Amino acid sequence: MLHLWIQERRIRPVGIAQTLGNPRIGMKKVLILLLITINLVACTTFSNEEDIPRKKMNLACAEPRLDSSFQFHDKAVGFLKSFYKTRKESELFFAWYASEDSLYMAHTIGKCFDKRNKHFHAMQNVVQKNEVLRRLIVQNMRQDSQAELSELFLDDYKKIFNRDIQ
């Protein structure tokens, strides 16, 4: 008799149709299952792929670096032109550093995965342009001998115009 009672109490596999009709399963579980399915259906119907803005990934490496290298070179040329107009030495330093940045960006093209022969030749062109520009910058920079001469004249100037220089 005990054996029959144990067989009656064994767990039997139950399908979904039998589960919904079974009064032992609470209404909370049925309601939760229903809400989840409604939520999933609503999410799939309301979201269209056209509505979602997608970011375009820029996979190019060599072209932007080459462009920035040319832009730095153009800035350096602009600073050198500004030096010729104003004769401020700070413009020469700005031109030098812009030329350095241009060379750095040109040399980083070699690390790009999408480089081609045209990038290599453009890089050589930028390097040659920057070499000429740097020679011009160095020629216009003040040398030590010029600084010593200006200090000599400054001492004479102080003797003559002692109130002008504080």
* Backbone dihedral angles phi then psi of residue 75, each to the nearest 5 degrees: -65, -40
User: For residues 163 and 152, what is the distance between their CA atoms, to the nearest angstrom?
Assistant: 18
Per-residue pLDDT, 105: 94
Q: What is the mean pLDDT of each successive set of 10 residues along the chain, which is 166 residues long?
A: 56 54 66 83 64 65 93 96 90 93 93 88 95 92 60 57 50
138 is a domain residue: yes
**Structure tokens that stand for 114 in this block:** 């999408």
Per-residue pLDDT, 141: 82
Per-residue pLDDT, 82: 94
**Would you call 68 exposed, middle or buried from its count of C-beta atoms within 10 A (0-12, 13-18, 19+)?**
middle
Instruction: Examine the domain organization and report whether 71 and 135 are in the same domain.
Output: yes
Instruction: Examine the domain organization and report whether 129 and 66 are in the same domain.
Output: yes
Per-residue pLDDT, 165: 46
51 is a domain residue: no
**Structure tokens that stand for 56 in this block:** 């375009």
152 is a domain residue: no
Instruction: Examine the domain organization and report whether 123 and 66 are in the same domain.
Output: yes
95 is a domain residue: yes
Instruction: Examine the domain organization and report whether 68 and 41 are in the same domain.
Output: no
124 is a domain residue: yes
User: How many folded domains does the chain comprise?
Assistant: 2
131 is a domain residue: yes
147 is a domain residue: no
**Model pTM?**
0.54
Give the CA radius of gyration of the chain: 39
**Owning domain of residue 40:** 2-45
Per-residue pLDDT, 21: 57
CA dihedral 7, 13, 18, 19 (to 10 degrees): 100
